[in-house]
Amino acid sequence: MIKLKNVSRGYPARAEAKGGVIRALDNFSLNVDSGEWIAIMGPSGSGKSTLVNLIGCLDRPTSGEIWLDGEDVASISPGELNRVRAEKIGFVFQQFHLIPYLTALENIMLAQYFHSMTDEQEALEALERVGLKERAHHVPSQLSGGEQQRVCIARALINDPKIVLADEPTGNLDAMNEEIVLRLLRELHQQGRTIVMVTHDPVVARLADRRIELHHGKIAAQEVFTMADEEQFEEVRRTWRDRRSRPHGSARSATGKYRSRKND
């Protein structure tokens, strides 16, 4: 579904000597299967958002190939890139990026408009699926963080994308809303969508099928999780409970069955 081959994305490094380049992604290759849920981890500045933006057709690589659902998006025109993004990708960002003067419903209808045409009934149903039908006519400032993120998920899904990209989707949420948002992501996974999720939380990462650790724009390590969905979620809930009952203690390290492999 997603294939990156020898992808580099460089930025000019102003602080360094003239002509220096920061390699946000450095000769990076990755295959994500259809229906796979990938968690991307790594320190700040390791290239996680760059990767999400490239897969999401918000940016183009300096070199390399990016294939989405059989289409090479590294070499197509900006107009085509917009079409691929509207047709295939749903975004959920940490900062929500809702239009502040539009209601929840209108924010979703705007995404419909960019894809094809608006359909108010369909937009309302999307809000209902995330439990927010009663909030349809509220603007973002009248919604809690968790509610805003659920509007974002409804917006991400309105055009039925095959790929969902989530850049720290629970980074700004409390524990309760984090659980609601992660349950929604799990539903998307069960529906067979391909998910790429950036997270700082190893417990959240364990919900995915595979965890990829980035360092300096390269894959430093990978881990494949093999637990069944329901089992995995129970494990995550146990860890959350432990964390809540031991606010200052160290969270028990998750102990599921997985195999670990170092990337070369």
Cβ pair 95, 101 in contact under 8 A: no
DSSP class of 60: -
Rounded to a whole number of angstroms, the minimum distance from the CB of residue 183 to ligand ADP is 25
94 binds, among ligand ADP, Mg ion, none (CB under 5 to 8 A by kind): none
Among residues 11, 101, 113, 114, which is the contact residue for ligand ADP, using CB under 6 A?
A: 11
| Rounded Cα gap, residues 246 and 23, in angstroms | 40
How do beta strands 21-32 and 2-12 pair?
antiparallel
Among residues 2, 40, 42, 49, which is the contact residue for Mg ion, using CB under 5 A?
A: 49
Q: How many residues bind ligand ADP (CB under 6 A)?
A: 11
Rounded to a whole number of angstroms, the minimum distance from the CB of residue 202 to Mg ion is 17
Cβ pair 189, 201 in contact under 8 A: no
Rounded to a whole number of angstroms, the minimum distance from the CB of residue 169 to ligand ADP is 14
Alpha helix ranges (H) inside the chain:
48-55, 78-88, 104-115, 120-129, 145-157, 175-190, 202-205, 229-245
Q: Does 169 bind ligand ADP (CB under 6 A)?
A: no
Rounded to a whole number of angstroms, the minimum distance from the CB of residue 76 to ligand ADP is 21
Q: Which of 3-11, 45-53, 139-147, 189-197 is the region at the interface with Mg ion (rule: CB under 5 A)?
A: 45-53
- Tokens at 264, concatenated: 């070369």
Of 66, 114, 73, the closest CA to residue 91 belongs to 114
Residue nearest to Mg ion (CB): 49
50 binds, among ligand ADP, Mg ion, none (CB under 5 to 8 A by kind): ligand ADP
Q: Closer to ligand ADP by CB, 10 or 35: give it.
A: 10
